Each structure stands twice: as C-alpha cells, then as structure tokens.
Chains A and B, each alone.
Chain A
Amino acid sequence: MNSNENSHDPLVERVLVSFDLAAEHHISNCPPCQAERERVEDALRQFGTANREYAQRPERFWEEQASQIRRACRQSEKQSRITATLVPSVVVLLLAAFGILGHLPATRPAAISQPAAQVDQDHELLIEVERVMQTDTPVALEPATLVVDQRNSGVPLSSRSDRKETHTNEN
C-alpha cells in the first residue's frame, strides 16, 4: 500500500465525500485502496453511531426542553405585545413633550431676563444712592423737576434722606 498510498490517496477521500464513478471504479479494482476505504468508512460510521448514542436523552428531557421553549415563546410574544402597545404611547408622549418644550424657548428668556432686569434696577438704585451721597446739596435744593419726578414715581423724598442717614450710620 505504501508505494501506492500517495497516488491513490485522494480516491479514498473522493468516494467517502460523494459519489465518484471513476474513484469507485479504481477502488473496486484495487484491494489496498478497498481495505483503506473500509477502514476509514468503519471509523466514520462508528463515530456517527457513538455520537448519536452519546446525544440520547430520556423522554423527560425532551418534554422539559419543549415546555421551556413553549414558555420562552409565550414570554417573547407577551413582550412583543407590550412593546407594540407601549411604543406608540411612548412616541405620543415624546411628541407631546417636544411640543411643550417647543414653547419653552419663548418663556425661558423672559424667565431669565426677569432677574436681569431686577439686577439693573438695583444697580441703578445703587448708582443713584452713590450720586446722592457724593452731592452735598440737600435734597430740598435739587432741581424741581427731579423732585416732581420722584413724587410721581412714588418714592418719598424723606426715604432718600433716610437712606442717606442709614448710609452715614453704616460708615
């Protein structure tokens, strides 16, 4: 066999893999190849049988497995139903949320600008206080128009002098 092994080798594989007329013809006329084919074929058959036996399980195993598959399928169906119900609801909610958020840009700047306006007013008041503090002129001697303005704005003239006093005390 050894001398022929290399040249005949592929023929044995060929007949074992699929039907090959030429290889079959050669092997049927070549006893060493025939013996080799039977040997490999036997080993493969034994391997197949052994594995089929090895994979055998009692009927209870298959029943349990089938029932687990059934449960998993039911669970998956339930989940897909929940998803089918939830997804549109979530989409609607998201759209509504975006709709609400869409209005926010108009209200937000106002909310932000309000404290800014407050800060401006405070700043102006401080500047005014500063200005008054720096002027030595008594409130009564200030231009009449300014006094009128202050009256119109509802700030009592005394408050300005009070503020001046407070400021002096603090100092």
Chain B
Amino acid sequence: METALTSALGAAAQNITAEEFEAIVRRHQRRVHRFLLMLLRDAEEADNLTQECFLRAYQNLGSFRGESSLESWLLRIATNLARDHARSRKVSFWKRLLGLDGDQSSGGAELLPSGQASPERVLLARENVRAVWEVTSQLSQQQRAVFLLRFVEEMELHEIASAMGLQVGSVKTHLFRAVQTVRSKLRDLR
C-alpha cells in the first residue's frame, strides 16, 4: 500500500511539501480514524485524535527514518495518543469499557449481515459481532489494539509489531489470549 512518495520519505521526510503531506493524509486518514474509533468507541474523540495524529506526524516528520512503513508509524502515533487520552480520562474510559456511560455502540452489530441472508443467519451474525465486541471491551488497551489491527485492519503480525512497538512474539501472545477469550465467549452463546 506504500506509494513511491511514502516509501521514499525516510531521509527526505523533513523536506516534504504541504501538498505531499496532504496526499499522505488522504491515503491514511480512513485507517487511522477507524482504528481510533474502534479503540476509543467515541466518534468525536476519534475525529479529534485523528487530526492530532496527523498534526504530530507533520511536526515530527524529521524523526521518521523510514525503518517502518509510514502507516505503521502513523498507527503508532495513534496508539500513543489513544493511550494518553485513556490515561487523562481514566475514569470515563473505564466507565466506557464497562458500559456504564450509556454508550450503546455495538461495533456495527446492527449492520450485519447484508444481502439475502436468512433471518436466523442475520441474528447469529449479530450475536457473534456483539459477543466479540464485548470481549474486546474487556481486553487491555494494548491487547485490544493488537486484536483490532489483526481482525479489523487485517494487518500482518510484523506490521502490527511495528505499529505497536512490540516483538512479533508479544503480538502473537496478545492475539492468542484475545482469541481464547473470544472463543470462550462464543461457547457461552451456544
């Protein structure tokens, strides 16, 4: 997904023009926003932090050395921002995690599935999505981030490791535990 522009960034990042940076924003804003939305479960905060993420990237382009992909670098900034945000609003964050603040967000369970699926299938799919959504609420923020990058963003393990600043082994461990919890939750639904 890297363009010539973003892959060639590295050394020349500080010389990037406003137009070139805007092209980067256009290319990556959807993923960054979606990731933050899933992580924070707050549309407004996700929007704010997406803007903040790109602003930080713009201000720190000089520190981007091209060792990871630009997208990983952006997602790393987004993860750090989400973590700081969660710390600064710890109480409401935990409230949100525990579903005590009235946030009825179900991770799009109501959207699924489309097409000509039978009512039973639609119901089952919704149950599944809701169950997985509930599980992700109980994961630590880092585990949740890893889980979302894997199963929503469909990123490779090494890309997740790069975005999260983790070893691939740690990513696997986080995923293993998360999937184990999901499985257990799905088993309870039966």
Known: A12-B183, A47-B133. A73 touches B58 (CB 8 A): yes
- Tell me the dominant secondary structure on chain B's binding face: helix
Tell me which residues across on chain A come within 8 A of B154, comparing CB atoms.
48
- Tell me the dominant secondary structure on chain A's binding face: helix
Whether A69 pairs with B132 at a CB distance below 8 angstroms is no
Residue of A12, A47, A72 ringed by the most chain B CB atoms within 10 A? A47
Tell me which residues across on chain B come within 8 A of A51, comparing CB atoms.
34, 38, 107-108, 148, 152
- A69 is contacted by which of B30, B51, B111, B180 (Cβ under 8 Å)? B51
- B151 is contacted by which of A9, A48, A57, A72 (Cβ under 8 Å)? A48
Q: Does A16 contact B (CB under 8 A)?
A: yes
Rounded to whole angstroms, the CA-CA distance of A66 and B34 in the bound complex is 15
Per the CB 8 Å criterion, the residue count for chain B at the interface is: 43
Number of A-B residue pairs, CB cutoff 8 Å, is: 120
Whether B129 pairs with A66 at a CB distance below 8 angstroms is no
A-B pairs with beta carbons under 8 Å apart, 19 shown: A12-B183, A17-B175, A17-B179, A40-B182, A43-B128, A43-B131, A43-B182, A50-B107, A51-B108, A52-B108, A54-B107, A54-B108, A55-B38, A66-B25, A69-B50, A73-B55, A73-B58, A76-B55, A76-B59
Other A-B contacts than A14-B176, A54-B111, 16 sampled, CB-CB below 8 A, are A9-B183, A17-B172, A17-B176, A40-B182, A43-B182, A44-B179, A44-B182, A45-B151, A50-B108, A51-B107, A52-B108, A53-B108, A53-B112, A55-B33, A69-B55, A76-B55
